[in-house]
């Protein structure tokens, strides 16, 4: 005979397994889209392609080309001859609104 506690454990185990499988499949689709991303060269035609795209945005694109540093390239302390650059990051903060009912931002 199966006890109610065992049924509860079995049900919750199946529910969590279903949830994690759903999340796994959703992330797998995103990874597949990234791996199938078109590879574009950084050249003079790139701004025209971005302007012609829907919403002036190219989702999941791999850019290939030579990157020039703004000042000086960074050199590796561990591998001789290896250089790199730092990408400029843009941080956009969303406005916080005080929720007086929950007493949180």
For residue 75, give both structure tokens. 């050199």
Q: What is the pLDDT of residue 26?
A: 96
Q: What is the pLDDT of residue 65?
A: 82
Q: What is the CA 9 to chain-centroid distance, rounded?
A: 35
Q: What is the pLDDT of residue 87?
A: 73
Classify each residue of 24-58 as buried b or exposed e, where b means 16 or more C-beta atoms within 10 Å of its C-beta: eeeeeeeeeeeeeeeebeeeeeeeeeeeeeeeeeb
> In the chain, where are the structural domains located?
1-36, 37-88
SS3 label, residue 47 = helix
Contact between residue 64 and residue 72 where contact means Cβ atoms under 8 Å apart: no
Residues of the chain with pLDDT under 50: none
Q: What is the pLDDT of residue 62?
A: 83
From residue 42, how far is each of 2, 12, 50, 52, 55 by CA, in Å? 65, 51, 12, 16, 20
CA dist 46 and 61 (Å) reads 11
Q: What is the pLDDT of residue 33?
A: 86
Q: What is the pLDDT of residue 91?
A: 67
> How confident is the model over 78-99, as pLDDT tens digits?
988 888 887 766 667 767 777 7
Q: Residue holding tokens 């995103």?
A: 30
Q: What is the pLDDT of residue 56?
A: 84
């Amino acid at each position: 005979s199966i006890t109610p506690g065992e049924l509860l454990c079995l049900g919750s185990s199946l529910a969590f397994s279903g949830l994690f499988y759903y999340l796994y499949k959703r992330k797998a689709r995103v990874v597949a889209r990234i791996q199938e991303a078109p590879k574009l060269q950084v050249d003079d035609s790139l701004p025209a392609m971005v302007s012609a795209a829907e919403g002036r945005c190219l989702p999941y694109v791999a850019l290939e080309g030579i990157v020039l540093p703004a000042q000086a390239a960074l050199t590796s302390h561990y591998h001789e001859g290896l250089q790199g650059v730092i990408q400029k990051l843009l941080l956009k903060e969303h406005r916080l609104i005080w929720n007086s009912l929950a007493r949180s931002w």
